[in-house]
């Protein structure tokens, strides 16, 4: 009789445990909360956590709780690989989101794909990623070829900056691809690359490049600096201290508070592309980047995101990467709501068919079998240490990946 009672108790525990798993949707999340990528990834993790809280406060997904399982990748591919395997084999997730850097994605996404787990990168912008990780990898952000084309067209066509010095971090796929796409479009337009030089990420002394630029005759009209978030502020600070005053252009790795903290409050004539900008004018009035080319963007999700973020964290978002993390979770929630089931093929088909998803960073659609969404690019200028929104742009011509 005692054995029978224990059997019944064990069965009930197992049933409750099973029911708990059935009645929740899980998302695996890996962001680098430490190391070289932390200034981009910490905001994304905050945005992702905010999205999950809002979803659960509104009865979850189809009445089921959404659970985020977040691991710190520590900006270390070996740690990221272990975290990915843990999410797949121990936590049993069907989808993983994360990262704002291509190299970090490539440490995780292939493992996910091998095990039929969807991977959505919220901020890694390499347009080569879908071909590197077939079928199961999606971007929820624009590609580097798109933001590079915006930078080339804006600098050459709008400002007549017809010659350029390019400085590229040779250790990152992101920086190398961004420079390549920029130079392709810039030279197509008629711009001249006077010289491209390379450095290794993490360097502290850029005096050799200062001398190199100063020796170029005639001087370049602009500089294109393709660097990671930990380096770009230091580079700009040293260039400006050496009286190199030409406009400096770069990509979304500039979108971190580290830039102005390092380069200084008087930083001027720096232009960069990013995904979203919000500024607060009063306690309840916000300016957000407008839609591009008459694209309809639902304002309610944007205002909800901003006000909820401020309520939770006590400040408005410090970069667009918080919105990207938020959008990635909301995109997965939308997929779960619409899917006929949770088998890999059912989720994959549902996500691939996403049309006009109203993200904070723009309306998102996957069209013609593409796994990179069509979205506009936000262009920012730093003027006397302040971020100034210029416009949202869709480039006229984009280089092939």
pLDDT band at 279 (very low <50, low <70, confident <90, very high): low
Cα 118 to Cα 136: distance, rounded to the nearest angstrom? 5
Q: What is the mean pLDDT of the chain?
A: 91
> How many CA atoms lie within 13 Å of 389's alpha carbon, on the beta-carbon side?
18
Do the beta carbons of residue 100 and residue 37 sit within 8 Å? yes
Delimit the domains of the chain by residue range: 2-142+291-370, 145-274+378-393
Q: What is the DSSP letter of 315?
A: S
Cα 330 to Cα 302: distance, rounded to the nearest angstrom? 12
Q: What is the DSSP letter of 217?
A: S
Do the beta carbons of residue 61 and residue 70 sit within 8 Å? no
Where helices occur in 156-256 by DSSP H, the ranges are 173-189, 207-215, 232-241
Do the beta carbons of residue 95 and residue 28 sit within 8 Å? yes
CA distances from 117 to 40, 138, 299 (A): 24, 11, 32
The predicted-structure confidence for 354-374, as pLDDT tens digits, reads as follows 999 999 998 899 999 999 998
Query: Is residue 311 pLDDT above 60, yes or no?
Result: yes
359: which residues sit within 8 A by CB, 6+ positions away?
Answer: 140, 301, 323, 327, 330, 331
Do the beta carbons of residue 289 and residue 354 sit within 8 Å? no
In a 10 Å sphere around its CB, with 0-12 CB exposed, 13-18 middle and 19+ buried, how is residue 268 labelled?
A: middle
328 alpha carbon, distance to own chain's centre: 10
Sheet holding 386-393, edge to edge: 192-199, 163-169, 222-226, 248-250, 270-274, 377-383, 386-393
Query: Is residue 9 pLDDT above 80, yes or no?
Result: no
158: which residues sit within 8 A by CB, 6+ positions away?
Answer: none
The predicted-structure confidence for 284-304, as pLDDT tens digits, reads as follows 545 455 444 444 455 778 889
pLDDT band at 375 (very low <50, low <70, confident <90, very high): confident
Query: Is residue 183 pLDDT above 90, yes or no?
Result: yes
Total residues found in the chain within this entry: 401
- 259 or 297, higher pLDDT: 259
Do the beta carbons of residue 276 and residue 323 sit within 8 Å? yes
300-317 mean pLDDT: 91
The percentage of the chain sitting over the pLDDT mark of 70, rounded to a whole number, equals: 90
Do the beta carbons of residue 123 and residue 252 sit within 8 Å? yes
154-175 mean pLDDT: 97
Where do we find the tokens 């030279």? 187
User: What pLDDT is recorded for position 17?
Assistant: 44
The number of helix segments (H) and strand segments (E) in the chain equals 13, 16
Q: Which CATH class is domain 145-274+378-393?
A: alpha beta
Query: Is residue 268 pLDDT above 70, yes or no?
Result: yes
Give the count of beta carbons closer than 10 Å to the beta carbon of residue 15. Answer: 10
Query: Is residue 141 pLDDT above 90, yes or no?
Result: yes
139-163 mean pLDDT: 97
Query: Is residue 398 pLDDT above 80, yes or no?
Result: yes
Which residues share a beta bridge with 393?
Answer: 377
> How many CA atoms lie within 13 Å of 272's alpha carbon, on the beta-carbon side?
29
Q: Would 2-142+291-370 and 145-274+378-393 be classified into the same CATH topology?
A: yes
User: What pLDDT is recorded for position 280?
Assistant: 55
pTM of structure:
0.89
6-25 mean pLDDT: 51
188-205 mean pLDDT: 97
> Taking each helix axis from N to C terminus, what angle separates 102-114 and 173-189, rounded to the nearest 10 degrees?
110
User: What pLDDT is recorded for position 22?
Assistant: 53
The CATH homologous superfamily for domain 2-142+291-370 is Response regulator (3.40.50.2300)
Where helices occur in 115-199 by DSSP H, the ranges are 129-132, 144-153, 173-189
**Preceding omega of 113 cis (within 30 degrees of 0):** no
155-178 mean pLDDT: 97
Do the beta carbons of residue 164 and residue 186 sit within 8 Å? yes
User: What pLDDT is recorded for position 298?
Assistant: 54
Do the beta carbons of residue 41 and residue 33 sit within 8 Å? yes
Which residues share a beta bridge with 359?
Answer: 362
- In this structure, what token pair is assigned to residue 194? 């006077």
pLDDT band at 281 (very low <50, low <70, confident <90, very high): very low
User: What pLDDT is recorded for position 288?
Assistant: 52
| SS3 category, 273 | strand
The predicted-structure confidence for 41-86, as pLDDT tens digits, reads as follows 999 999 999 999 999 999 999 999 999 999 999 999 999 999 999 9
């Amino acid at each position: 009789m005692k054995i029978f009672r224990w059997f019944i108790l064990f069965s009930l525990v197992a049933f409750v445990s099973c029911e708990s798993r059935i009645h929740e949707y899980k998302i695996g999340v890996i962001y680098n909360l430490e190391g070289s990528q932390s200034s981009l990834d910490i905001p994304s993790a905050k945005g992702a956590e905010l999205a999950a809280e809002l979803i659960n406060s509104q009865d979850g997904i189809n009445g089921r709780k959404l659970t985020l399982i977040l691991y710190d990748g520590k900006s270390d591919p070996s740690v990221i690989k272990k975290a990915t395997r843990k999410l797949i084999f121990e936590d049993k997730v069907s989808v993983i989101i994360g990262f704002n850097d291509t190299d970090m994605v490539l440490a995780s996404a292939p493992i996910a794909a091998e095990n039929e787990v969807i991977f959505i990168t919220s901020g890694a912008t390499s347009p080569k990623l879908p071909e590197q990780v077939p079928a199961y990898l999606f971007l929820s952000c624009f590609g580097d070829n798109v933001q590079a084309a915006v930078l080339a067209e804006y600098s050459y066509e709008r400002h007549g900056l017809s010659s350029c010095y390019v400085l590229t971090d040779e250790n990152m796929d992101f920086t190398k691809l961004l420079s390549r796409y920029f130079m392709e479009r810039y030279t197509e337009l008629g711009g001249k690359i006077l010289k491209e030089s390379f450095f290794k990420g993490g360097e502290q002394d850029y005096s050799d490049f200062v001398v190199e630029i100063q020796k170029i005759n005639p001087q370049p009209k602009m500089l294109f600096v393709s660097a990671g978030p930990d380096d770009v502020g230091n580079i700009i600070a040293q260039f400006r201290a050496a009286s190199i005053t030409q406009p400096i252009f770069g990509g979304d790795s500039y979108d971190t508070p580290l830039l102005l903290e390092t380069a200084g409050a008087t930083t001027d004539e720096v232009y960069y592309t990013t995904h979203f900008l919000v500024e607060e004018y009063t306690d309840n009035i916000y300016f957000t980047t407008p839609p591009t080319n008459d694209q309809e963007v639902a304002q309610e999700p944007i205002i909800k995101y901003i006000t909820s973020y401020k309520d939770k964290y006590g400040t408005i978002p410090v970069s667009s990467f918080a919105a990207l993390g938020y959008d990635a979770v909301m995109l997965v929630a939308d997929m779960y709501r619409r899917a006929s089931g949770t088998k890999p093929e059912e989720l994959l088909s549902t996500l691939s068919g996403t049309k006009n998803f109203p993200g904070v960073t723009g309306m998102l659609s996957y069209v013609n079998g593409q796994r990179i969404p069509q979205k506009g690019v936000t262009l920012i200028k730093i003027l006397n240490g302040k971020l100034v929104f210029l416009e949202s742009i869709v480039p006229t011509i984009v280089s092939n990946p």
